[in-house]
Amino acid sequence: MADERTHESWKDWFQLHSPKLLLCARQWTRSLADAEDVVQEAFVRFWRNQRSLGGEPQALLLTSLRRAAIDLARRNDRRERRERQADEPDAFFEPLAGADDRRLAIEAALRRLPAEQREVLTLKIWGECTFEEIARQLEIPPNTAASRYRYALAALRRELTAADCHG
């Protein structure tokens, strides 16, 4: 019986306060959908951990709401930064200070590979993944992963052989 009253009381409390919370969350988020997610996350945090702290429940919930909005913004910023870096080929293959000519030629050749081939090559060589693992990560067939790897190696071989002949 007590559990049922608690269950109903949180529903009633949430119904009463959620419109105001949503307006507050909307000021700290980029979209209505983000604001709704923040309200839900903040309320769950509050109900599980903070409501027993004492003090004004709405003030505690607003603090939880603000923290949830900040956490979401930080996650979004980190994701966007990773995506920007992934789109910049030089982010993965920046020449090292004092690198020799051969290393510079290899790094330049890597930057000129198509992104799909470079991605597979990176996962295979530096990530030490199998073609099956690469296929799962990239959502492609294992044979496609293997082909992209072979094409990348062939392109590198051609380019570096030509550079050796001209250098």
Here the tokens at position 65 are: 């709401």
More confident residue, 91 or 129: 129
Q: Domain residue spans in the chain?
A: 2-86, 95-166
Q: How do residues 3-42 score in pLDDT, each as one tens digit?
A: 444 456 778 877 887 888 888 888 888 888 999 999 999 8
More confident residue, 95 or 28: 28
More confident residue, 114 or 7: 114
Residues shown for the chain: 167
Q: How do residues 131-152 score in pLDDT, each as one tens digit?
A: 988 888 888 999 999 999 999 9
Distance CA 71, CA 75 (A): 6
Q: What is the domain class of 95-166 according to CATH?
A: mainly alpha
Here the tokens at position 71 are: 């956490």
Determine the CATH number of domain 2-86: 1.10.1740
Confidence band for 153, pLDDT divided at 50, 70 and 90: very high
Task: State residue 99's pLDDT score.
Answer: 58
Please say if the pLDDT value at position 1 is more than 50.
no
Distance CA 154, CA 150 (A): 6
